Amino acid sequence: RVLPGVGPRSALRMATQLLVHDRVGAEYLSQSLQRALSALDQCRECQTLCEEEVCGICQSQKRDARLLCVVETPSDLLRVEQAGAFTGKYYVLMGRLSPLDGVGTQELKFAELMKRACDGVVQEVVVATNFTAEGEATAHVLDSLLTPRGLKVTRLARGVPVGGEIEFVDGLTLAQAFRERRDL
């Protein structure tokens, strides 16, 4: 029941599956967790999960240190890396602002992010939090904190996805795409 989204019934079902039908799997899961617990920690620079004290991307000399991309989770970081669209470095919030769940600027370590962004090398912070209500709120708070420090704060473009057909795009996205239309 310590797993996210797992209630008492699911937990019992999982336990039965592992202890009755798949004891080898249970042993494997236990050892994998133990290995991960001892080997993985958060990167000192960007907070993502990694095996070293500082992750490969933060260590790399090939990444553009003037660009800092803020994402919510390590999964988001991996997604952006897979897309091959970004050449700078990252900062992983490990969440998003969510006052109702008790997640505020302290829990997300905004102070650490400020220190990281104001190192004198970073020039632009690209906010790549989700386009959900909480992700957008997080983006605006970040903007209000970082812009006064003389940093350029940008947000990923919103609009019609690549390959998108007007007829099948949802109304809100279409309205947004009209508002944010750009010169051809």
Q: Does 175 bind a second copy (CB under 8 A)?
A: yes
Least separation in angstroms between residue 34's CB and a second copy is 27
Stretch near a second copy under the rule CB under 8 A, chosen from 35-43, 51-59, 114-122, 137-145: 137-145
Stretch near a second copy under the rule CB under 8 A, chosen from 1-9, 47-55, 76-84, 113-121: 76-84
Tell me how far apart the alpha carbons of residues 57 and 40 are, in angstroms, rounded to a whole number.
16
Binding mask 53-72 for a second copy (x = CB under 8 A): ------------------xx
Q: How many CB atoms lie within 10 A of CB 149?
A: 12
Tell me how far apart the alpha carbons of residues 151 and 117 are, in angstroms, rounded to a whole number.
8
Stretch near a second copy under the rule CB under 8 A, chosen from 12-20, 51-59, 108-116, 150-158: 150-158
Chain positions 94 to 113 lying near a second copy, rule: CB under 8 A, are: none
| Closest C-alpha to 129, from 148, 153, 107, 111 | 153
Q: What three-state secondary structure class fits 112? A: helix
Tell me how far apart the alpha carbons of residues 57 and 64 are, in angstroms, rounded to a whole number.
10
Least separation in angstroms between residue 114's CB and a second copy is 16
Least separation in angstroms between residue 78's CB and a second copy is 8
Least separation in angstroms between residue 43's CB and a second copy is 19
Two tokens, residue 119: 């190192």
- Give whichever of 18 and 49 is closer to a second copy, judged by the CB atom: 49
CB 47 within 8 Å of CB 92: yes
Two tokens, residue 159: 């609009």
**Total residues interacting with a second copy, rule: CB under 8 A:** 56
Two tokens, residue 134: 């909480």
